[in-house]
Amino acid sequence: MSAAVWRERLGVEGLVEERPGEWVVRAELSELPALADRAAGSGLRLASLFGTDEGEGRTAVHHLWACAEPPGFVRVWAVVPAGAGFPSISARHPAANWFEREVMDAFGPVPAGHPNPNHVSLHDDWPEGAFELRKDFDERRVVPRVGGQYRAYRPVTGEGVFHIPVGPVHAGIIEPGHFRFGVAGEPVLYLQLRLFYVHKGIEKRFERLPWRHGLFLAESISGDTAVGHALAWVHAIERLAGVEPPPRARHLRVALLELERVYNHVADVGAIATDVAFTVPASRAQAIREDLVRSHERLFGSRLLRGTIAAGGVKCDLTLRSRKELMAQLARLGRDFKDLVSLLIDSGTFTDRVDGTGVLETQVARELGVVGVAARASGLDLDLRRDQPHDAYRGLRFEVPVEEVGDVRARLMVRAREVEQSLSLLAQVLDALPDGALLSPLPDALPAEASALGWAEGWRGECLHWVRTDARGGIDRVKVTDPSSRNWPALVRAVPGNIVPDFPVINKSFNLSYAGNDR
């Protein structure tokens, strides 16, 4: 499908294919809602929405739409004049909700017509007018906290209705997030969520780093998604630089990404068992996961695979002997994991806790723009490895597991089936690993005033990194879209109607990242 077809479908002139699979058009600000409707009507889905500082008090708003046929992304952007707002699309496209509020928090323009125009990333003690992603904001200074009226939570009404506040500090080592339940006895009537307690300013930090140093920051966004975010970053850099990694590196990248998927999915299956007090499969899952990550450290130098990806290729390799060792271990893992899943689903006491619990309906998942495991468990057939193939995925055979019910069991079964597919993918890439170099040379500088999108299907869902350079070829803006930032609103919709003791297992079945969301 050519740019001419997209121009006709969206009803805009000037749309061009800036890079393979990236179509871009600048629009008038007032046209954004109509263009969003036409994009959604053409089968596109909103993948991200973000702002950029255009100087002289102006902000640009960018809508990023994903398309499966042809594979790629359409970016529609418009400039917001200084002191003005921008038209919200959240009422008709709820997936834009948090995105638009983040633009408001980070740049200042208010989304006109937004159904809930409250802060999302800023807390109540953040001073007005301190917009962290504007160029004139110095993130190295200490921002003074302010007092005043804190935004109230939804009040409880009705006889016997109470609030149960949970967090933001939790037991154990998980990061902070505040959950407030409205309950009548044990049944949950509604859930309110407040995050961004560990907001780190990562997108601003990218702007202060030399572009060659950005990879270390990218793989630190969410510790359990080091490969996913590293790949999204280097894909953007490689597209900017016009660099193609060698075939061996592309295959090794697939192996690393699938190993990251396997160890996380196995851990999550065990964690779901833990939250219903089924300790035997929980312990077995931990043992399987530990055996695998110890192999990671032995073969790649990192339990969680950090430091394995490089711009232009990879930093690690596998000898023939180590490949055979890894393949033998993965075969054992497959057998052990199959027994583990059978132990779970053959237990009536386990299925009683997970069947029909925490249902996320398909239409709700679609409206909220849910991605990854949570989307596929609710009937949405989405996967960038197939729909927008990266690295060596185009030549590999695999299925995308999809469940329809959208409950805890469905999310568990998607994970279980994805482990099977990952083991098949690993067998394919390790058995047919091509000879050759591990790295392609990089240029001395990136092109000036250019942009590119990088993407990867991480184990939770899609990781997107949009990178723009300044007049000197340095990093001007990086937009990170982590799958958890897409899926946290879905948890709010999946919990009501269940009982309070079911919340831990519902939450674990999504297993969303605080760090990835808060960035």
Q: Which pLDDT does position 325 carry in this prediction?
A: 93
CB under 8 Å to 279, separation ≥6 — which residues?
273
* Angle CA 88–89–90, to nearest 5: 95
Residue 335 burial (10 A CB sphere; 0-12, 13-18, 19+) = exposed
Contacts of 199 (CB under 8 A, 6+ apart): 121, 518, 519
Per-residue pLDDT tens digits for 82-128: 999 999 999 999 999 999 999 999 999 999 999 998 899 988 889 88
- How many CB atoms are closer than 10 A to CB 389? 16
Tell me the pLDDT tens digit for each residue of 136-168: 998 888 888 888 777 778 888 888 889 999 888
Chain mean pLDDT for the chain? 93
Q: Cis omega before residue 168 (within 30°)?
A: yes
Report d(CA 452, CA 290) in Å as an integer: 37
DSSP type of residue 223: G
CA distances from 369 to 90, 221, 495 (A): 11, 21, 18
Please tell me the predicted confidence (pLDDT) of residue 2. 61
Task: Report yes or no: 225 and 281 within 8 Å, Cβ to Cβ.
Answer: no
Could you list the mean pLDDT of each consecutive 10-residue stretch along the chain, which spans 519 residues? 72 85 92 93 94 95 91 93 95 96 95 92 88 90 83 81 88 85 92 92 93 94 95 97 96 97 96 91 95 95 95 95 94 95 92 94 96 96 94 94 96 97 96 94 94 96 96 95 95 94 94 92
What domains can be seen in the chain, in order of their start residue? 3-112 (3.30.460.80), 161-194 (no CATH), 202-518 (1.10.645.10)
pTM confidence score: 0.95
Residue-wise pLDDT for 71-84, tens only, equals 889 999 999 999 99
